[in-house]
Amino acid sequence: MKNLVRIFLLLIIVGAAVSIHSSCSDENDCSLAGRPMMYCTFKVLDPDDKTRVLNDTLDSLTIKALGTDSIILNNEKKVHKIMLPLRYTSDSTVFIFQYDPVGNPNDVDTLYIVQQNTPYFQSMECGYMMKQNIISTKFGNRANSSEKIDSIYFRNKEANTNEIENLQIYFKYHERNPVTTD
């Protein structure tokens, strides 16, 4: 009987501790997982029917942020969409796309993003967060780049955590591209 009372008291104490802890826990996500990102998908126009958009997949891709030593994507294989962080400390972000950094380090494209950073108060636990809206985009190619960005289609201006597409990046057509449609 004493053991039953002890087990009952232990369950009550553990249950009370768990309920107090969960009622006081932080519901906000202040981690980097809650950081807004720019979502991009890769596309190509069908050479036989220019009105038909095909999904594109790059064989290999490394992405670096200009002005930092950050490598955002390191020699990723079979890439068809990417998530890119925009800078908080500047109103522009520049990304360097390298398609074969070891074999041909000059095989690059540059993606320029101009954004508006607006701080807002999230909560006492998280402090200030940053809302980022993309204002404009442009790209640059090197003359000897085998993978060239052909155009960019702007879909949504607000960087987000919901994987809502911001940009469609169109590449020049290659025979290796898949023939799947949207």
pTM reported for the whole predicted model:
0.75
Question: pLDDT (tens digit, 9 = 90+) per residue, 63-107?
Answer: 999 988 889 999 889 999 999 999 988 999 999 999 887 888 788
Name the percent of the chain lying above pLDDT 70: 84
* Domain extent listing, the chain: 37-171
Question: pLDDT (tens digit, 9 = 90+) per residue, 131-173?
Answer: 999 999 999 887 766 668 889 999 999 999 888 999 999 988 7
Quote the pLDDT of residue 13: 81
Beta strands in the chain (DSSP E): 38-45, 53-55, 58-65, 71-79, 81-84, 92-98, 108-123, 127-141, 149-154, 167-171
